[in-house]
């Protein structure tokens, strides 16, 4: 805990030393949000979409978990492949279990050009197969291994130029898409929220959530892709001791397509154990509640460019 806080203080004192963006791209338009839900009434895992202002909550699927929106805002990674949001057509890539013998692949992260999907991979009987892989998004072919993991590596996001992947393995690491140049960018010894990580559309900042200290609820942090610039984003109400029932966990942050806002889930313990989606500005100001659904626990998702519903 002290290491993370000290690194943040050092970063604040050297703010002029800013990492160069990873080929920043034009800002996207903030469109619809896809969200994963635990339905307290039916007991099912479900997928919904919603406008960022909280309107038009739309059910998509039962017993599914969604990954990211495709870069063009038309598809959502799910169903062992992906769903075309407008037509309802499903592209089945034979995942997670059928396509590759002894390898289970969960593929939810799109490359910036939409040509590939990054996957969390597990050997069904051989643990040496665990790691991050990528596949061709059109048909699930051209399997390429990126990392080797003793336990679990989760691909969190691509860099805007598609040359590197952000991987959660406890601490965050970045690695080139060919598996070379792996580098840890956040300190060890911290309790991170697994698979938390979002690369800014402008390429200069990576969001994640962590418990600092590990007896506290989650808070939102950002770091440059070279490991510099580590700092906590001050969001109203986030954090506090786990032992305090009024404390609030803020976790699984993702950038908006235009890079000016952050979406995340807030975990409340009272009046009942519950999750809702919120957004803030990039500096932590402007807290806005997106969902208010007592029977639905919104557990993270992705913010895409698909036009919102009027």
pLDDT of residue 26: 58
Structure tokens at 186: 């956040």
**Ranges of each domain in the chain:** 2-22+31-303
Residue 290's region, left for phi above 0, alpha for psi from -120 to 50, else beta, is alpha
pLDDT of residue 25: 52
Q: Which residues of the chain have pLDDT under 70?
A: 1-26
Task: Classify domain 2-22+31-303 by CATH number.
Answer: 2.120.10.30
DSSP codes, 255-278: E-TTSSEEEEEEEE-SSSSEEEEE
Q: Which helix (H) or strand (E) holds 38?
A: strand 33-39
> Encoding tokens for residue 36?
């994963």
CB count within 10 Å of CB 61 equals 17
Contact predicate 110/76, CB 8 Å: no
pLDDT digits (tens, 9 = 90+) for 30-41: 999 999 999 989
The pLDDT assigned to 62 comes to: 93
The three-state (H, E, C) secondary structure of 170-188, written as one string: CCEEEEECCCCCCEECCCC
Q: Which of 281, 277, 307 is nearest to 48 (CA)?
A: 277
């Amino acid at each position: 805990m002290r290491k993370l806080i000290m690194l943040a203080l050092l970063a604040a004192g050297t703010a002029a030393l800013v990492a160069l963006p990873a080929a920043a791209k034009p800002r996207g338009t903030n469109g619809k949000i896809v969200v994963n839900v635990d339905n307290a009434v039916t007991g099912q895992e479900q997928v919904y979409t919603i406008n960022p202002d909280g309107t038009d909550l739309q059910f998509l699927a039962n017993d599914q978990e969604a990954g990211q929106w495709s870069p063009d805002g038309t598809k959502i990674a799910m169903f062992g492949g992906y769903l075309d949001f407008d037509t309802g057509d499903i592209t089945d890539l034979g995942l997670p279990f059928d396509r590759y013998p002894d390898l289970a692949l969960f593929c939810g992260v799109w490359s910036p050009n939409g040509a590939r999907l990054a996957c969390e991979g597990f050997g069904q009987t051989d643990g040496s197969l665990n790691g991050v892989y990528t596949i061709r998004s059109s048909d699930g072919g051209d399997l390429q291994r990126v990392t080797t993991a003793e336990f679990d590596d989760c691909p969190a996001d691509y860099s805007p130029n598609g040359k590197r992947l952000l991987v959660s393995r406890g601490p965050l690491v970045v690695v080139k898409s060919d598996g070379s140049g792996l580098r840890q960018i956040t300190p060890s010894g911290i309790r991170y929220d697994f698979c938390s990580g979002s690369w800014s559309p402008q390429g200069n900042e990576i969001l994640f959530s962590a418990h600092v200290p590990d007896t506290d609820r989650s808070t939102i942090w950002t770091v440059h892709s070279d490991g510099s610039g580590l700092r906590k984003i001050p969001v109203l109400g986030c954090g506090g001791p786990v032992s305090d029932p009024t404390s609030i966990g803020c976790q699984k942050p993702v950038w908006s397509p235009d890079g000016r806002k952050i979406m995340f889930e807030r975990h409340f313990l009272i009046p009942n154990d519950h999750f809702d989606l919120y957004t803030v500005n990039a500096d932590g100001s402007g807290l806005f509640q997106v969902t208010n659904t007592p029977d639905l626990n919104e557990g993270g998702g992705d913010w895409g460019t698909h036009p919102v519903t009027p």
